[in-house]
Amino acid sequence: MVLIENAYLAPVVGPEITSGYIRIEGDRIVEVAAGPAPEAPGATRIDGTGCLATPGLVNTHHHLYQWASQGLAQDATLFEWLVALYPVWAAMDADVVKGAATAGLGHLALSGCTTSSDHHYVFPKGRGDLFAAEIEAARELGIRFHPARGSMDRGQSKGGLPPDVVVERLDEILTATAEAVGAYHDPSFSSKLRVAVAPCSPFSASAELMTETAALARSEGVRLHTHLAETVDEEEHCRAQFGARPAAYLDKLGWLGPDVWVAHAVHLSDADIDRFAATGTGTAHCPSSNGRLGAGIARVSEMLRRGANVGLGVDGSASSELTALAGEMRQALLFQRARYGPTALTARQALELATMGGARNLGRQDELGSLEAGKLADIALWRMDGPFASAVADPVFALALASGQPPLARLLVGGETIVEDDELRTVAQDEAGRAGAQAHRRLLRLAEQHGVTREPTPPDREPKPPAPSARRSTPPIDEGRVLP
């Protein structure tokens, strides 16, 4: 038995408790209550005095391999950034992915993350088992992991964005995806490993790939994930290629539903949002990445008001350098308030995005995302009694608005300690960091061997800001979309 006592408890579901305890048996929470913890001879007691206990945070969109390509194409739009980096990623191997995933998942754990998805969609031939490499990294760290087997079959020769060298044939994709689900997916309540099916995006996946992978996922009972409506460029591409906006195109292919969550969804119409709400389609909101690439600000406040589910995602480290998942609560809150006003998103809504919103995206709302009896003991214990943080009386507000997250006193996954006093306990923290740095150096060396001889930059870009008449990446605010 484990007892967390004397902490401020923010269960997300239900009232907050200013001083209480959490009793854990095995990998489950069995009691959440106010007051002093009961006597329990032999129990491991964790003193939460001065701490805020929240559910472990849930990251619902990431590209772990991109840890090895951070800091490149620094001033690019999404399409420019992809064109610059595809040749680099084409050189990656399993060693790069293992090192990048070790560093990326370790960094997530240190920001309070107990469950992370990952969308891996680049599979160069003859480079080892990249999917297995990231799964092994997650197992070593002890984090709950939802890898999504991504895919692309629509290269430049077929009107897509990626070069043909990084796409796969449809039959190869379906075989490899089915094998990944069969080998790794664990549907049990306590599962630390679940697989999703995730063709990359409408501009890199054929209609056949989208429909065939959806059928495969639903026959296997696993979830579906893809990028959607991230930029204006994507919307223009979909209109030109498919005669529909991205969300409508996905709907036409039978992709919207309660077993689907999409990444970004920055550019949705009112009708799109209503359709997401009606079908139970979730969204992974990635505010830092959307800002870094100039994609825009997702209409999260409106999505929540209309009943659509939203969780948070860090997104790939190469478009969201060194971003902590805890910090995405702050980014989400500030972006919504900057666009819609000071009541657009509260601190507690931001915490819910990072916990229950993410759990719903992954189909695990009955297991994760709140501090409730019967749920898995995935818990973050934040130290709020430091000389500066203690000046804010409301600990949830202090956590959500912190420009640098409060110290992480303890992080539990299934009742097991993953982080203690801001230090990884399952792997050596310095070694995890070095693994990421080595992966970066190895990837650039491999890329040079493949003909990428200098730091990649977007093609055909002048080293100056775009002229006022240039095509914009982010549309002006549509006054009809502003919250009342």
What is the mean predicted confidence (pLDDT) over 292-296?
95
Question: Are 405 and 71 a contacting pair, CB within 8 Å?
Answer: no
What is the mean predicted confidence (pLDDT) over 238-266?
96
3-state SS, residue 79: helix
Model confidence at 470: pLDDT above 60: no
Dist CA 130 CA 118 (whole Å): 12
Model confidence at 222: pLDDT above 60: yes
Question: Are 421 and 386 a contacting pair, CB within 8 Å?
Answer: no
- In this predicted model, what pLDDT tens digit does every residue of 359-393 receive, in sequence order? 999 999 999 999 999 999 999 999 999 877 778 89
Per-residue confidence (pLDDT) for residue 386, from 0 to 100:
82
Residue count of the chain: 484
Question: Are 393 and 401 a contacting pair, CB within 8 Å?
Answer: no
- In this predicted model, what pLDDT tens digit does every residue of 70-80 receive, in sequence order? 999 999 999 99
Per-residue confidence (pLDDT) for residue 403, from 0 to 100:
81
φ and ψ at 109, to 5 degrees? Answer: -60, -40
What is the mean predicted confidence (pLDDT) over 391-418?
94
Model confidence at 174: pLDDT above 60: yes
Q: Would you call 200 exposed, middle or buried from its count of C-beta atoms within 10 A (0-12, 13-18, 19+)?
A: buried
> At 162, is the pLDDT very low, low, confident or very high (cuts 50, 70, 90)?
confident
Task: Determine how many CB atoms are found less than 10 A away from the CB of residue 198.
Answer: 29
What is the mean predicted confidence (pLDDT) over 120-132?
96
**Domain annotation for the chain: domains and CATH numbers:** 2-55+371-422 (2.30.40.10), 57-361 (3.20.20.140)
DSSP string, 322-333: T--HHHHHHHHH
What is the mean predicted confidence (pLDDT) over 25-37?
98
Model confidence at 63: pLDDT above 90: yes
173-179: long-range contacts, CB 8 A cutoff, minimum separation 24: 173/199, 173/209, 173/213, 174/212, 174/213, 174/216, 176/123, 176/149, 176/151, 177/149, 177/151, 177/213, 177/216, 178/216, 178/220
DSSP state of 198: E
What is the mean predicted confidence (pLDDT) over 229-249?
93
DSSP state of 387: T
Output the average pLDDT for the chain: 92
Q: Which two tokens stand for residue 270?
A: 């009112």
Radius of gyration of the chain (CA): 22
> At 455, is the pLDDT very low, low, confident or very high (cuts 50, 70, 90)?
low
What is the mean predicted confidence (pLDDT) over 340-364?
98
| Pairing mode of beta strands 51-55, 2-9 | parallel
Dist CA 289 CA 312 (whole Å): 11
- In this predicted model, what pLDDT tens digit does every residue of 260-273 receive, in sequence order? 999 999 999 999 99
**pTM (2 d.p.):** 0.93
Dist CA 135 CA 94 (whole Å): 11
* Closest to 60 (Cα-Cα) out of 280, 283, 349: 283
> At 458, is the pLDDT very low, low, confident or very high (cuts 50, 70, 90)?
low
Per-residue confidence (pLDDT) for residue 475, from 0 to 100:
39
Per-residue confidence (pLDDT) for residue 391, from 0 to 100:
83
Per-residue confidence (pLDDT) for residue 224, from 0 to 100:
98
Sign of CA dihedral 7, 11, 12, 14: negative
Per-residue confidence (pLDDT) for residue 163, from 0 to 100:
86
Per-residue confidence (pLDDT) for residue 405, from 0 to 100:
85
Q: How far is CA 382 from the centre of its chain?
A: 21
Per-residue confidence (pLDDT) for residue 459, from 0 to 100:
56
DSSP state of 405: P
Sign of CA dihedral 203, 208, 211, 212: negative
Give the residue ranges of DSSP H helices in 168-269.
Answer: 170-184, 207-220, 232-242, 246-252
Dist CA 95 CA 441 (whole Å): 11
Largest CA distance in the chain: 72
> At 179, is the pLDDT very low, low, confident or very high (cuts 50, 70, 90)?
very high
Q: How far is CA 176 from the centre of its chain?
A: 23
CA distances from 238 to 234, 249, 272, 466 (A): 6, 8, 15, 24
What is the mean predicted confidence (pLDDT) over 149-178?
93
- In this predicted model, what pLDDT tens digit does every residue of 138-148 receive, in sequence order? 999 999 999 99
What is the mean predicted confidence (pLDDT) over 56-78?
96
Dist CA 158 CA 163 (whole Å): 10
3-state SS, residue 98: helix
Question: Are 290 and 73 a contacting pair, CB within 8 Å?
Answer: no
Dist CA 305 CA 316 (whole Å): 28
Per-residue confidence (pLDDT) for residue 456, from 0 to 100:
60
Model confidence at 185: pLDDT above 90: yes
Dist CA 430 CA 434 (whole Å): 6
Question: Are 78 and 454 a contacting pair, CB within 8 Å?
Answer: no
Can you state the angle between helices 94-109 and 429-449, rounded to 10 degrees? 140
CA 247-262-96 angle, to 5 degrees, is: 135
More confident residue, 133 or 475: 133
What percent of the chain shows pLDDT beyond 90? 87
What percent of the chain shows pLDDT beyond 70? 93
Count of H-run helices and E-run strands, the chain:
15, 17
Model confidence at 208: pLDDT above 50: yes
φ and ψ at 101, to 5 degrees? Answer: -70, -35
Model confidence at 484: pLDDT above 60: no
